[in-house]
Amino acid sequence: MKIQDNQHFMIYKPYGYLSQFINNQTKRSNKKLLSGLYSFPKGTMAIGRLDETSEGLLLLTTDGKTSEFIRSSKIEKEYYAQVDGIITDEAVEQLKNGVEIGFDGTKYQTKPCKAFKIKTIPNFPERSKKIRDERHGPTSWVSITLREGKFRQVRKMTAVVGFPTLRLVRVRIGKFQLNTMKSGEVIEVEVEEFVA
C-alpha cells in the first residue's frame, strides 16, 4: 500500500472508551470502542493507547510505519493531570527528574521529563462521570510531557509524589494538539501533516 493510500485521524477519545476497534473479550462486551465514534476505514489502528478512564488526543492510522514513528521516543506526548490536592513545587521537581514506579512486576525509573503546575483550570468538556465535589478537598492541575509511555505511567508518577491523578487528558502528540476539539470528535488529517 502506498503512503498516499493510507488515512490518518486525530480524535478526542472520551472517558469510558477503550483505545481499540474490536472487542476480543466476551466478558467486556458492554465496553465502548473507537469504532462507535466514526466510520473508520478497514485496517485503522490506534497509535499508542489511552486507558479507559483517560481522555484526550489519540492519533489513528492505517499505516504501520507511521504508527511506529509516532510511538517512538522522538515524539513528545503532553498530558494534563488533575490531581488530588494542591501539587507542590517539590513534587513537580521530582516528576521532572524522574521517579521510581512499578512496571511489569519490577521497579522502573522514569526518564527526566518536562512538568509544570497549570495555574488556570483547563477548559475541557464536562466528563460523563463526575470527578468528585469540592467537599473532598482541593484539586490542582499539572502538565507532564513524556517521550516514553509505560502502562498508566502518568497516574503512577503523580501517585508516587503524593498527588494521585483524578482526571487525565492527553493534550498533545508532537505537533498535534487537542485545542478546542470536542469529546468524541474525529478529524481526518492530511498525509503531509502527519509524516512531516
Catalytic site positions? 51
Joined grid coordinates for residue 19: 483505545
User: Hey, is 89 helix, strand or coil?
Assistant: helix
Percentages helix, strand, coil for the chain, rounded to the nearest 5?
20, 35, 45
Nearest to 181 by CA among 139, 112, 141, 124: 124
User: Hey, is 60 helix, strand or coil?
Assistant: strand
CB 117 within 8 A of CB 92: yes
Query: Distance (Å, rounded) from C-alpha 190 to C-alpha 95?
Result: 35
